[in-house]
Structure 1
């Protein structure tokens, strides 16, 4: 996905979003996963609830167990549970990455299969995998499949940034009332909500931008 002039011009019709875009360096364009949905899901599971540095180390050790550093599904499922635990995976995460491998052998996960699907169809297709929830698939949609109009409302940082940017509309709101207003705020950003959210992630009020 590119941060095109039409997208930025559309988002800038919202004065608050125009200010955020002006204050924030453009998000990075590249994907670490090179369209490989299977690898992206494995790495996403490894990275859950731990630091980026720790996740990178564990995923690197996992990949080193395989020829060409690629944990193909067949090879991964041939490893023992102890082998998976030995690289630093918790027991639960070891089961989850086995679940991804199992799923990939029975269901296609390539771009040719996924690209014709809607965003919601992809969510429903992949969330039966143990350890893969809606948020995980939304990150896949945004960063691997380059879908332009994803709004990951369950992401804590996105909620916090919108509340910080639009205090007059969100102050004192919680629960369903907050979610309803957040959706209302984001509605004018269509069909470029992915771009808006990527700017929100990088934007940090009264401080340096984040990567």
Structure 2
């Protein structure tokens, strides 16, 4: 068992991060004790890592614990990247104090963009969740993981691309997947196994290249690519203007009678570059309450 501490450079609302992670029934966490267990898939092994808040939003300190005595540096770097602890949220806060979202960022200080635990897991979840309401989306993704994934120390690991690629469409139809969604999940997994899609390489490319490459896969549209870039890759400057939640948040913030259009949202969001991802997350947060 090893334990390491990390002091983040600026504000960091870990309690809100836990709240968002807690939307997923598959993630094991404790809001009161302020910890979350992260399933980490290593190259030839896997482990469950406990991440715990030891400080406050204003002075954030985190502990990282694992009983996997090998690859400690690799594990810690993976955890640090997931929670993006190196990002100075104070700088982003100061940037938005010069915008019309200043009061919103003052109200929700230190809101981090937390990445999904793995690139493949994130893509599968986004594909499964597209065009579904949140409750049913998590019901379906939970069934998917608990049927074909594996549990270890109370945490669930998504099935591997190899395993999903070998499934039949009816295997997912039995879990209440639509025919098309079953095809999207399995066919995309087969492309990954065949080497047509390399998510690790994609995650290093500019946004435009990812849209061009990933968008070629059947069933993966702009919304899916945007969400994968935001939550799998942790990109700073993405703003899903067509997202209904974003539009509802701006309707409330601007005190409009109707939701703004995608074009209106995109035009306004240009003022929030290069941190539009943080604007999106903070706007989502404003209507979650």
How big is the shift at 1:56?
Answer: 2.6
Q: Is the 8 A contact 1:161 1:200 kept in 2?
A: yes
Q: CA deviation at 1:114?
A: 2.3
The total of aligned residue pairs comes to 197
Larger helix proportion, structure 1 or 2?
1
1:207 is aligned to none
- Structure 1 residue ranges without an equivalent (≥5): 205-209
Structure-2 residue corresponding to 1:155: 243
Q: In the alignment, what sits opposite 1:196?
A: 279
Distance in 1 (CA, whole Å) between partners of 2:132 and 2:98 is: 38
Once residues 188 and 195 of structure 1 are traced to their aligned partners in structure 2, the CA distance between those partners, rounded to angstroms, is: 13
Higher strand share: 2
CA RMSD of aligned residues (A): 2.7
TM-score, normalising length: structure 2: 0.60
Q: 1:21 aligns with which of 84, 105, 110?
A: 105
Higher relative contact order, chain-length normalized (CA < 8 Å, sep 6+): 1
In 1, the alpha carbon distance for the partners of 2:147 and 2:191 equals 21
Using the alignment, how far apart are the partners of 2:165 and 2:258 within structure 1?
Answer: 49
Residues 75 and 23 (structure 1), Cα distance of their counterparts in 2 relative to 1, 3 Å cut: same
Mapped contact 1:41–1:100 kept (Cα < 8 A) = no
The yes-or-no answer on 1:12 pairing with 2:97 is: yes
The answer to whether the Cα contact below 8 Å between 1:126 and 1:132 also exists between their aligned partners in 2 is yes
Counterpart pick for 2:198 among 109, 113, 116: 109
Indicate how the Cα distance of structure 1 residues 160 and 70 shifts in structure 2: closer, same or farther if over 3 A, else same.
Answer: closer
Q: Which ranges of structure 2 fall in alignment gaps of 5 or more residues?
A: 1-83, 151-156
**Contact 1:37/1:110 (CA < 8 Å) preserved in 2?**
yes
Kept after mapping to 1: 8 A contact 2:112/2:278? no
